[in-house]
Structure 1
């Protein structure tokens, strides 16, 4: 298989004045986006992104350059420029080897779709949402798909080639009853094509989002105070992603911005809790075969039965910390350098029956959908919105409540979890960090925290 550039020659030019390691990242990506609002297609566009980046690393220092639409000669000139921007020393040894085979299905599952077909899908969700209840005031549907061909040539291994495909479909429903306005949101995403709709019709997203918004119209304000909280598996993995995952990214650890720095081998969570990041899960939004440094994706155990085992590493953070790369060096595009990022982050299922967890909790808050929030990775403190929650009354799901927030500290919450369900539910999104966005998925089983601070209406 012939690469679109001469990997060995470009790497040798980049390391001509020395360096510990280097890599060439080449990509050609096709994307399509449709946004429908108020029953009208507000945006419908398709585009191609084509470019390459070259990085040279020496110790803790990096030089990175990139260009659009590269041809072999211009890429070699970029390599010379990157080499010129760093002081001379002994060059590293450049590895050689055959190109790794094409990953994934080897085809673009969206190649036969035009923008009209994508717009028709969005209209189906709009109609489904409006058919649920007359109080639906607004519907916004966002659809995106992509096919990204990537070549990565690291100086210490063979070049690899990958074809990454996937789509994202989200629907936001606004319901209004007099002066009361509530929203509901639901999304699906996968690294596969529309065959996922054979398992779950897309209209179900719209129906779920609409029912959530309508249900909240008559819901009272959430109670405030300290109380037991049960996080249902369908709440998604926002908690593990934000309150835990970012603190386990090795660059934040090296910068002193993580509450977990220097704590490998310590107990940081309940012995019921195991935290994993696994980009090898089939079809998930955060899955890939190789990361953006050419390291094979791998399942990485971060916390095992409560004990911190390690961090998510890129090649550079692994070198600095004396660890092995975990295949988590990711970037948004050729215009960005790779940094440690999550893929599919989850708390592993545990031994408890999810229904029994609820029955064993006489009162409290039952959270079935998490919203946005803020996290301080240095202290671990967080505040999260609850997009959908219910009172727990005599061990059963009671009336819905609105306006709840969860306030706490990530490591403390992990230590206090006393029930971990045998189920597992996923949520999807795009994670932003250092000005870059990458597709991710998060998951958790049903969890119980015996006491958390819930923000709501005092005196309820």
Structure 2
């Protein structure tokens, strides 16, 4: 996106007045989106954002500047501004020789930017038609499409020069049904790090039908029970619980600030021996997958908890340098306008040996959760509240009646200890956007079917 010689000069300018570390991050992102609501195309647009962020570190101080001007003058001015913010003296000129790191981006079969807008609109219309065709109780259908192509270049004063080309495609269907139980909703989404060939793998008609069926099923749902109960979480649908309730507590910035319940516990038993949790940015085509993170580190598979033992945390450049640790590929940023921080990629709980049928049959009474919605987590304590967007009663070892939406309330570290069954049916869940300190990045999560011996269900049944 910019010449290698210019990158080297910018790094030299960033270090001219003294600095321990300097970095140039260049981004060129194109995107398009469309939204249908109530049978009408409400939005159809595209955009482009390109620029560079420059970071200079002096001791414990970080200076950062960003610019949309990718000319030599613009980049040098940003480098000078970042250096001024971090200046610690020293003077002199430092020449940085860059060594390109070979990376392999996710292959793209059909570039979304080469697909006609009319074709994308047709996807929205087909989803609307199929969802409405599931019954007269369907009152509202919304569908949205999005794609992006993000090209990045990262260079730093250690001599690193790396690049990545990331294409992501997303489709979401939301349905509202109305009946005696009031208004009920259904939602399905699919998104992968790939091009328009996503729709060779997934049919929007299937997503629309499943979203409508979810909403219609909830019309005949009974109120969720309340109190402490065994909870079985279905494959794929419960990964967000572990992302939020445990994953954030394993990010090194929270560890160094001592605001995580997992601080200082490497080598200790923190979960059931059935639990192995991995953060993996290399899983082919998943939503949180990339070739390099936003600091130029190759994506990696990082085992965080193995057989219940805490083995490591997730690291970014600055915190790994400070602790003398190896980089884990978890330095991520929303755009060139933001500083990188420690973030998850695809966070998963790996397979066990039980079948999902065995787990349910071995649960006399409880709640089966197919899909979890949004929630809130206190990373310092691990306490969480999550919404159940699709759940069923378990009676006599069988999944029976659907339940209206309620909450799951618990504590992340305790949940890890109370997992007493893990299935062999691992699936990734729907694509997500993780928010942290005002930045959002694409992430994935996944789980097999599993059982927690006791969680508080916040239902409305007496």
Q: TM-score, normalised by structure 2?
A: 0.95
In the alignment, structure 1 residue 153 sits paired with structure 2 residue 160: no
How far is 1:234 from its partner? Answer: 3.5
Correspondence for 1:117: 119
Correspondence for 2:89: 88
In the alignment, structure 1 residue 30 sits paired with structure 2 residue 30: yes
Q: Within 2, Cα distance between the matches of 1:310 and 1:387?
A: 32
Correspondence for 1:71: 71
In the alignment, structure 1 residue 10 sits paired with structure 2 residue 13: no
Secondary structure in 2 matching 1:242:
helix
Q: Within 2, Cα distance between the matches of 1:5 and 1:145?
A: 32
Correspondence for 1:436: 439
How far is 1:356 from its partner? Answer: 0.6
Secondary structure in 2 matching 1:56:
strand
Q: How does 1:128-167 map to 2 (within 5 A)?
A: 128-167=130-169
Correspondence for 1:52: 52
How far is 1:280 from its partner? Answer: 0.4
Compared CA separation, residues 368 and 212, structure 1 to 2 (3 A): same
Q: How does 1:312-391 map to 2 (within 5 A)?
A: 312-391=314-393
Secondary structure in 2 matching 1:377:
coil
4+ residue runs over 4 A deviation: 90-93
Would you say the 8 A contact 1:107–1:163 is kept in 2? Answer: no
Deviation digits for residues 161-205 of structure 1, max 9, x if unmatched? 111001111111111115600111110000112323323312111
Compared CA separation, residues 350 and 266, structure 1 to 2 (3 A): same
How far is 1:46 from its partner? Answer: 0.5
Secondary structure in 2 matching 1:181:
strand
Correspondence for 1:290: 292
How far is 1:20 from its partner? Answer: 2.0
Would you say the 8 A contact 1:236–1:425 is kept in 2? Answer: no
Compared CA separation, residues 456 and 98, structure 1 to 2 (3 A): closer
How far is 1:371 from its partner? Answer: 1.0
Secondary structure in 1 matching 2:160:
coil
Correspondence for 2:129: 127
Correspondence for 2:452: 449
Secondary structure in 1 matching 2:112:
coil
Q: Within 2, Cα distance between the matches of 1:68 and 1:2?
A: 13
Compared CA separation, residues 67 and 97, structure 1 to 2 (3 A): same
Secondary structure in 2 matching 1:79:
helix
Q: Within 2, Cα distance between the matches of 1:386 and 1:38?
A: 26
How far is 1:351 from its partner? Answer: 1.4
RMSD over aligned Cα atoms: 1.8
Deviation digits for residues 278-298 of structure 1, max 9, x if unmatched? 010110000000000011110
Q: TM-score, normalised by structure 1?
A: 0.96
Would you say the 8 A contact 1:168–1:188 is kept in 2? Answer: yes
How far is 1:102 from its partner? Answer: 6.1
Compared CA separation, residues 139 and 324, structure 1 to 2 (3 A): same
Q: How does 1:138-217 map to 2 (within 5 A)?
A: 138-178=140-180, 180-217=182-219
Q: Count matched residues.
A: 459
Q: Within 1, Cα distance between the matches of 2:238 and 2:91?
A: 49
Secondary structure in 1 matching 2:385:
strand
